[in-house]
């Protein structure tokens, strides 16, 4: 007596042909996940270097750093105080983005020497960037970090750079107020653009807006207590 398999030979052959492809896809998926993890780790290291740029520059002016906190969207170097002189504050504020610019420049030189620099048109399509090299994506990420942090709005480094530049021509309190108001305007603009282009801009705008308000309130609070102490004297 002969028994026939319920699955035909053609179906079995198809399964045999599909199996290696499934294994290849699985290996590619694991490789992609590993590469993404390494990229995120490298990006965090760049953020740490960014914050140490602030800390080490502040140390030159005898200002200590309490701690350095790294978040998924960036980091914060908590200084004991900001330099009172405009030139010193300008140097401390610009030091962080300058580190990212130096890293990007080093990666660019490496890609030029190794002939691995892709065509710039790849930046027009984010999907194409996913297929680019680890070094190129890290290069682009550092440029974005530098440009993003130089937005002239509190609590970004660019807001402190703007205040330092204004403080060359006016008193620090007025410079802080103007820089905070510029930050609020840019934050509202980002929120508006976020509804039409990328919703992440809404969160970034809210982050900047709340930071600008907090900085302005802190300055007003300090000015109030200074006035009270002056009246008592």
Least reliable range by pLDDT among 2-11, 22-31, 216-225: 216-225
Q: Does the predicted model carry a pTM greater than 0.75?
A: no
Comparison of pLDDT for 25 and 74, the residue scoring more = 74
Ramachandran quadrant class, 57 (left: phi over 0; alpha: psi -120 to 50; beta: rest): alpha
Give the pLDDT of residue 130.
58
Find out whether the peptide bond into 220 is cis, omega within 30 degrees of 0. no
Query: Which residues are catalytic, by number?
Result: 51
Q: Is the dihedral of CA 37, 99, 101, 183 positive or negative?
A: positive
| Cα 192 to Cα 121: distance, rounded to the nearest angstrom | 28
Give per-residue burial for 182-212: e unless 16+ CB within 10 Å, then b. Answer: bbbebbeebbeebeeeeeebeebbebbbebb
Least reliable range by pLDDT among 40-44, 117-121, 214-218: 214-218
Among 52-66, 98-112, 122-136, 159-173, name the most confident range.
98-112
Comparison of pLDDT for 65 and 54, the residue scoring more = 54
Closest Cα partner for 117 from 126, 105, 125, 127? 105
Closest Cα partner for 108 from 80, 67, 141? 141
Q: Which residues pair with 67 in a beta bridge?
A: 78
| Cα 109 to Cα 20: distance, rounded to the nearest angstrom | 40
Comparison of pLDDT for 159 and 100, the residue scoring more = 100
Give the pLDDT of residue 146.
92
Place of tokens 């983005």: 97
């Amino acid at each position: 007596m002969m028994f026939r398999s319920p699955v035909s030979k053609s179906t079995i052959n198809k399964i045999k042909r599909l199996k290696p492809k499934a294994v290849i896809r699985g290996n590619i998926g694991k490789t992609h996940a590993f590469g993404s993890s390494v990229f995120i780790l490298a990006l965090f290291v760049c953020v740490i270097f960014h914050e140490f740029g602030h800390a080490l520059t502040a140390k030159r002016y005898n200002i200590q750093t309490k701690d350095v906190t790294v978040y998924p969207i960036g980091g914060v170097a908590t200084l004991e105080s900001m330099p009172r002189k405009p030139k010193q504050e300008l140097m401390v504020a610009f030091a962080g983005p300058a580190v990212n610019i130096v890293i990007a420049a080093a990666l660019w030189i490496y890609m030029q020497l190794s002939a691995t620099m892709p065509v710039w048109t790849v930046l027009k399509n984010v999907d194409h960037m996913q297929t680019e090299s680890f070094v190129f994506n890290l290069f682009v990420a550092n440029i974005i970090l530098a440009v993003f942090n130089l937005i002239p709005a509190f609590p970004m480094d660019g807001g402190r750079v703007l205040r330092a530049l204004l403080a060359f021509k006016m008193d620090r309190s007025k410079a802080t107020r103007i820089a905070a108001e510029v930050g609020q305007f840019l934050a509202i603009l980002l929120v508006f653009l976020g509804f039409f282009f990328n919703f992440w801009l809404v969160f970034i705008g809210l982050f900047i807006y709340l930071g600008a308000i907090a900085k302005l309130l802190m300055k007003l609070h300090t000015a109030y207590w200074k006035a009270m102490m002056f009246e008592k004297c």
